[in-house]
Amino acid sequence: MKEGTKKNNTLNDFLMMLAATTISIVLTFGTSAIVDRKKHNAEKREMVLMIMYDMRESLKELEQCGSDINAFFDVQVDAIAHPKKFYSYYPELVLHIPVLEYTTTTETIFRSNIETIQTIGDILFVETVSSFYDLRDRFKREVVENFDIVAQKAIEDYNALRDFESDFYPFSSAAYLRVMKGDFEQCKLMMKVTDNDLDVFSIKKQEIIEATRGKDTYDSGEAIQDRQLRKNRLQQAREEGRRELQ
């Protein structure tokens, strides 16, 4: 009887130790998995916000270009209707030739790094963002750059401006913007991102820029002085060379 009790106690001790070890392993790996998952989700969220912030800022630039093209058309119509005042319209026409500026840093990171796609893990989102960036490039080439080439020549004289079929560009600009805004809104829904989320991201980004700018030790006055010294040395070398050749 005592022998059986002893065996039971040994078995119970073994089972308790096994249970404790099992729980310890589960807690260790389970906690690690939770931490890794939270880290992955945080990285995914940060990456998505970075991309969508870039999309939103790009749309602002493209919308401004669209507004300039529409304004150019309105001024063109007035100028064509009043040929004797053609040159008085010149400054306003120049003012409304669109200039599109945006950085491609985020797009480059998105397209060139396979880890970006793996981190995001949503193929539809990746495809939609890729479509947006493709359209942004086409908007720049087919709308803004083409308009700039033709408009620069058209504003040189009345006849060229009269023959410039600029009515196509407001239509084309609006068509591109409509599709790109649709892509942007679709991405917001897929990733559950709000305008407020992007505003917060924008503020954080600006704070980082300001903090970095505060540590900048660049001295413009010193740089100008240094350039002047180099310019003097270069001029002196030219004079010495000239004397040597005489």
Q: How confident is the model at residue 179 (pLDDT cuts 50, 70, 90)?
A: very high
Cβ–Cβ under 8 Å, residues 132 and 180: yes
pTM above threshold 0.85 = no
Mean pLDDT over the full length of the chain: 83
Enumerate long-range contacts of 138-142, CB under 8 Å, 24 or more apart.
Answer: 138/176, 139/62, 139/65, 139/100, 139/173, 139/176, 139/177, 139/180, 140/100, 142/172
29-38, 49-58, 231-240, range with the lowest pLDDT = 29-38
Residue 142's CB is within 10 A of a number of other CB atoms, namely 15
The stretch 145-174 carries a mean pLDDT of 95
The stretch 71-88 carries a mean pLDDT of 95
Instruction: Look at the block and give the residue holding tokens 């100008």.
Output: 224
Cβ–Cβ under 8 Å, residues 48 and 120: yes
Token duo for residue 99: 């200039």
Query: Which residues are CB-contacts of 147 (< 8 A; sequence separation ≥ 6)?
Result: 69, 97, 98, 166, 169
Residues 142 and 127: their CA atoms lie apart, in Å, by: 22
17-21, 31-35, 176-180, 232-236, range with the lowest pLDDT = 31-35
Residues 201 and 203: their CA atoms lie apart, in Å, by: 5
Any idea of the CA torsion for 228, 233, 235, 239, to the nearest 10 degrees?
Answer: 160
The stretch 177-196 carries a mean pLDDT of 93
Tens digits of per-residue pLDDT, 15-31?
A: 677 666 666 655 555 44
Query: Which residues are CB-contacts of 48 (< 8 A; sequence separation ≥ 6)?
Result: 120, 125, 191, 193
The stretch 41-51 carries a mean pLDDT of 80
Cβ–Cβ under 8 Å, residues 183 and 135: yes
Q: What is the pLDDT of residue 144?
A: 97
Residues 152 and 73: their CA atoms lie apart, in Å, by: 14
Token duo for residue 85: 């005042």
> Which one, of 11, 30, 147, 158, lies nearest residue 83 by Cα?
158
Residue 136's CB is within 10 A of a number of other CB atoms, namely 23
Query: Which residues are CB-contacts of 120 (< 8 A; sequence separation ≥ 6)?
Result: 44, 47, 48, 126
Tens digits of per-residue pLDDT, 90-102?
A: 999 999 999 998 8
In this predicted structure, the answer to whether residue 150 has a pLDDT above a threshold of 50 is: yes
The stretch 59-85 carries a mean pLDDT of 96
Q: What is the pLDDT of residue 244?
A: 81
